[in-house]
Structure 1
Amino acid sequence: MSERVRRRDPHAAVKRDVLVRYLDAWIAGALRSHRHATYVECGEFVADAFGVFEEFADRLAGSHLDMVIVGREPGDPPEGLPVRVVADPADLTVDGPMLANLDGLDVWPPVRGKSHEVMFTARSGDYGERLRAAGLAYRVAVELVADDGETELLVFGTGDSGHLATFKNELWSVDEFAGIRYRDPHDTEGTLVDISLTPQLLPLRRTLLAELTRRGPCPVADLRRHTLLETIYRPEDTIGALHAAAVAGEITREPAKGRLTPRTIVGPAGAHSAH
């Protein structure tokens, strides 16, 4: 895609890159399984999805993978990939694992249980009940904020915490498109963070200090889990945020020296806040 198009719609560029990267990982996992798996495209990224499937062209024939396109013509799918077209996602039947890219909450296929996953854009935080009802216990929402202040909320829901970790890895691995930064909806300060493999960790540091104040001393492993489930960050980002907090005297640790490990016990040092 040309830079001119990217500048015109930076939200779409980032969403496309996140989807393509995660779909690549999802297809690789599906091909290792003997279960039938389906990718459902309800939005504008049909051609991009075809491009990802084409990377696995030598393995598609005879595989248990297929693709469903909602509400539009399929174009020219990769050889060996069965493609179905449905006008209404309510008519969709899926056996086995499913990944769906939705065009908003108005397009919602039958999603139930641990093996189904969705990615979609929401205008507000009205997605939680829908995800819970679908059995998608693990989710992340990240605000994509353009230079002009326009914001879209990108949401991913899954029943597998390992897949949530994979999605977050891809979220931070996308190219640094000009004009888009991330913001954690739960960050009390609303800090904008550049897309980077080594992102600014101040919002995470604040979140972890608040969690330690709430729960008291605990192993670093518990805070890694909190980072995965309750923030836009990756579990491995926890160490960097805690290290900065320790240097600033905002937390205690046991043992007092050495590397922070999952077994290290950390706790709040007092009523401090990150600056």
Structure 2
Amino acid sequence: MSIRAVTRELLVRCVDTWAPGNLHAQHGAAFLYASARGIDHDAAEAALRAFGEFGDRLRGRLTLLFVAPGIEALVGRFAAVQREIGTPAEMAVHVVPGGNVGAVLKAAGAASGPLLAMVDDSVGKSFKAAVVLLTAPAGTWEKQRSELHAAGLGLTVGVELVDGDSEMLVGFGTRSDKSLEAFKSELWALDEYAGVRYRDPRDPEEHLMDISLEPNPGALRRELLARLGDGGLTVTELKRFALTDTVYRAADAQKLIVALLHSGAVRRSPEGGRLGGDVVISLAPTASG
């Protein structure tokens, strides 16, 4: 499967996890798919179909906005899909061939409710979104991460998709721990996409990882040990680091801490008892020196 197929599936899964908790918003909810260069029409249709699955749950207005140059052909394509799946009147679909994203959101009356956005690096992030899924060139994660933080999305993850000579960054930003955990769960659940591999953009060794529910912990091992080089941290702090600063999940960190203790690479304080969140983990003397 191609990188585009993986990105499209991640978008659909974002819709599936975001929609149930946001379609009851008093002022309505909105989805934005925008680019100053152009969008994947297949991904746009997949998003429309995914939201259509929730048509019977709508309690307010749902606005879907597709903003990019050269998307006029989507008007007819969307009309056919809407007839096929029977989208309700509360679901408004707008295809806008370019323009300022903030102004488009305001004009559509979608600037006040919860917003899920899919954008690329050609779109600024000054609009207020609850969740942002973005694509950008590989090697730009620190820049994209800073922009997401500046937009108020303090919980982020970036992963580079690699398929032969092709590569692309996918980033995710949210304000919710639960949302970040859900995205990471979906990220590692795409194991049917053989051929595409992940790379943690913060891994100095640029290790490639197969997509698997049980990911190779090599990159996380290096990152946790490097983090512990600055001093001991609690299990809770290490799990938090894995969640917010790596492509891994908090549960992956928990498993790895156990393995590192068994190997003697790290030590714990106190030495005995349950491995609770307040147990301090530090580098073993041989590992640190």
- The verdict on a shared fold, with TM-score over 0.5 as the criterion, is yes
Residues 111, 161 of structure 1: CA spacing in aligned structure 2 closer, same or farther, 3 A cutoff? farther
Any idea what the Cα deviations from partners look like across 1:196-220, whole Å, max 9, x if unmatched?
1111111111111111121x22220
Q: CA shift at 1:141, angstroms?
A: 0.9
Contact 1:89 1:108 in 2 (8 A): no
Structure 2, gaps ≥5 residues long: none
Give the structure 1 partner of residue 262 of structure 2: 247
Asked if the contact 2:200/2:206 (under 8 Å) is kept, the reply is yes
Correspondence list, 1:49-128, <5 A: 49-60=47-58, 62-71=59-68, 72=71, 73-74=74-75, 75-76=78-79, 77=82, 78-80=86-88, 81-87=91-97, 88-90=99-101, 91-92=103-104, 93=106, 94-102=111-119, 104-108=120-124, 110-112=126-128, 115-123=129-137, 124-125=139-140, 126-128=143-145
Of 197, 204, 209, which aligns to 1:181? 197
Mean CA deviation greater in 48-57 or 27-36: 27-36
Whether the 8 Å contact between 1:30 and 1:65 is mirrored in structure 2 is no
Q: Which AA in structure 2 matches 1:50?
A: L
Residues 161-172 of structure 1 aligned to structure 2 (within 5 Å): 161-172=177-188
Choose between structure 1 and 2: higher helix proportion.
2
- Corresponding residue pairs, total: 259
Cα gap change, 1:259/1:198 in structure 2, threshold over 3 Å: closer, same or farther? farther
Q: Which amino acid aligns with 2:94?
A: R
Report SS of the residue matched to 1:236.
helix
Matched, 1:47 2:64: no
The structural deviation recorded for 1:254 is: 2.9
Match of 1:195 in 2: 211
- State the alpha-carbon separation in 2 of the partners of residues 245 and 54 from structure 1: 46
Aligned CA distance change for structure 1 residues 219 and 133 (closer, same or farther; 3 Å): closer
> Contact 1:89/1:109 (CA < 8 Å) preserved in 2?
no
Distance in 1 (CA, whole Å) between partners of 2:18 and 2:171 is: 17
> Does residue 1:130 correspond to 2:147, yes or no?
yes
Q: Percent identity?
A: 36
3-state SS, counterpart of residue 188 of structure 1 = coil
| 3-state SS of paired residue (1:29) | helix
Match of 1:158 in 2: 174
Distance in structure 2 (CA, Å) of the matches to 1:35 and 1:158: 20
Aligned partner letter, 1:205: R
Question: Partner letter of residue 186 of structure 2?
Answer: E
The partner residue of 2:23 within 31, 34, 51 is: 31
Question: 1:252 Cα deviation (Å)?
Answer: 0.5
Aligned to 1:141: 158
Cα RMSD for the two superposed structures: 2.0
Cα gap change, 1:218 to 1:35, in 2 (>3 Å): farther
Amino acid at match of 1:136: L
C-alpha contact (below 8 Å) 2:220/2:248 kept by paired residues:
yes
